[in-house]
Each structure stands twice: as C-alpha cells, then as structure tokens.
C-alpha cells in the first residue's frame, strides 16, 4: 500500500507535517488543502513545520506554508532551525510526542477503532460506530457514535469534535449516555471537571453546561 502524500503528527512543539516528496507537487498541494478543509479549523493557531525526505524548492516550500497559514497555522521557525540541520529541516525523532493514530475516513455503524494512544478522525463518527482510545480523541466531523477517551484511566483525556449530536461519551470511568441536545453546531470539547463530563468551546471558552 502506498504512503499517504500528507501525514500530520502532533508534538509538544507543534505539528510536524510530513510530506511524501515522491509524489507530484500538485498532489502534495491538493492533499494538504484537503486536510485543512476537512479539519474545520481545528489546526488554527497551532505552530507547524514541514518535513520531507527530499529538500523542497524554496518556492514550493513557501506555497505549502502559505496554504497552512491561510487556515490559521503558524510557522514554527525555532523547531525548524535545530543545530546541525539546514533551515527548514528537522528530525522527527528529536521532537517529543505521544503515540497517535490518524483515521482518514468516516466511521460508520459497526466499525470500531481501538488504539492505546490519541486518535484523530478526519470524518464523522456515525451512530453505531465506536472509538476506544487510551488518550484523547479528536473528530473533524460530527460525533454521534460511542466514544471512549482515557480508556486506560487517564482522567485528563478529552474528546473534541466539530459537532456532537446524541453521542455516547466516556472519559476514563465517567460516562454520559447521550450528549445534551442544546450543544451548539460548532467545535465542542468534552472533559472531566469535578467528577463529571462538561463541555467547552474549542478555544477553551466558557463552560456550556
């Protein structure tokens, strides 16, 4: 199976956008733009660097960076200029991070994702679909399935979705049979506060319930 043209890894220093430079540059551009479009603004405000097997031409690098910045991402110049490396290059092994799984599809009824780390879904989670993650869960579309974050008992885990409608949530050992009907049609984060699941806006604004 061929590699994806674009892969994104989250680290404590920001996002590392991995480019398969064996692909045509036009494919890299369309792949990057598609990920940004389907992210519904989730990456906005995050710092990022581009990483590739082969060095990009300056014009190509600038064009890809411009796409990222168009969607609110911020170039991380400090991470890109590590000692002993050329400007614009970085070693993935030198950037600390945690295990994460990127699911590039909508999860439909009967489908189950089980992963010990964090999970990001580039699509919807339909009723009857299930995600179980040891870490946090990010859903770029609507969440209406069964979603269990912090399955290993991590109460600091969270669930973030573009929208949540009649979803069944569990974080660590705290469960919610069905999400409130009055949640807004905008990105919502579910986390544990005072031994119950509460909701905030994606930017960490005021609590919604």
Q: Look at residue 28 and tell me if it is in a domain.
A: yes
Last residue of a domain, one of 76, 94, 112: 94
Last residue of a domain, one of 59, 94, 129: 94
Q: Look at residue 209 and tell me if it is in a domain.
A: no
Residue 138 has pLDDT above 80, yes or no: yes
Residue reference for tokens 């469960």: 175
Q: Look at residue 1 and tell me if it is in a domain.
A: no
Look at 71 and 12; give whichever has higher pLDDT: 71
- 115 with 182, same domain: the answer is yes
- 21 with 85, same domain: the answer is yes
- 104 with 194, same domain: the answer is yes
Domain count, the chain: 2
- 46 with 129, same domain: the answer is no
Q: Give the mean pLDDT of 38-53.
A: 85
Nearest residue to 80 via CA among 43, 44, 52, 50: 50
Nearest residue to 139 via CA among 198, 176, 188, 173: 188
Q: How far is CA 168 from CA 27, 130, 131, 187, 203, in A?
A: 37, 9, 11, 17, 23
82-99 burial code (b ≥16 CB/10 A, e <16): eeeeeebbbeeeebeeee
Percent with pLDDT over 70 in the chain: 84
- 50 with 15, same domain: the answer is yes
Q: What is the pTM of this model?
A: 0.57
For the segment 87-105, what is each residue's pLDDT rounded down to a tens digit? Answer: 444 444 444 456 788 888 8
Q: Measured between alpha carbons, how far is 144 from 164 in angstroms, rounded to an integer?
A: 6
- 88 with 105, same domain: the answer is no
Burial category of 147 from C-beta neighbours within 10 Å (exposed 0-12, middle 13-18, buried 19 and up): buried
Last residue of a domain, one of 94, 111, 138: 94
Q: Look at residue 16 and tell me if it is in a domain.
A: yes
Range name among 84-98, 149-163, 168-182 with the lowest pLDDT average: 84-98
Structure tokens belonging to residue 45: 């405000």
Q: Measured between alpha carbons, how far is 52 from 17 in angstroms, rounded to an integer?
A: 8
- 141 with 167, same domain: the answer is yes
- 152 with 183, same domain: the answer is yes
**C-alpha of 110 from chain center:** 23
**Structural domain boundaries enclosing 51:** 6-94
* CATH code where residue 140 lies: 2.160.20.70
- 69 with 129, same domain: the answer is no
Range name among 13-22, 126-135, 156-165 with the lowest pLDDT average: 13-22
* CATH code where residue 38 lies: 3.30.70
Range name among 49-58, 105-114, 159-168 with the lowest pLDDT average: 49-58
Q: Measured between alpha carbons, how far is 181 from 73 in angstroms, rounded to an integer?
A: 32
- 72 with 54, same domain: the answer is yes
């Amino acid at each position: 199976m061929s590699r994806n043209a674009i892969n994104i890894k989250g680290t404590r220093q920001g996002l590392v956008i991995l480019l398969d430079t064996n692909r045509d540059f036009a494919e890299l551009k369309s792949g990057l733009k598609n990920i940004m479009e389907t992210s519904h603004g989730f990456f906005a405000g995050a710092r990022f660097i581009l990483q590739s097997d082969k060095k990009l031409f300056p014009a190509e690098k600038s064009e890809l960076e411009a796409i990222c910045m168009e969607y609110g991402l911020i170039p991380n110049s400090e991470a890109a200029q590590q000692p002993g490396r050329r400007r614009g290059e970085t070693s993935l092994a030198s950037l600390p991070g945690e295990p994460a799984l990127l699911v590039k599809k909508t999860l439909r009824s009967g489908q189950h994702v089980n992963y010990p780390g964090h999970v990001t879904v580039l699509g919807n989670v339909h009723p009857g679909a299930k995600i179980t993650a040891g870490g946090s869960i990010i859903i770029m579309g609507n969440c209406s399935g069964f979603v269990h974050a912090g399955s290993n008992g991590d109460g600091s885990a969270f669930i973030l979705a573009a929208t949540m409608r009649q979803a069944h949530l569990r974080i660590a050992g705290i469960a919610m049979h069905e999400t409130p009907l009055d949640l807004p049609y905008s990105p919502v984060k579910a986390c544990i506060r005072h031994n119950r699941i509460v909701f905030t806006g994606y930017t960490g604004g005021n609590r919604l319930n």
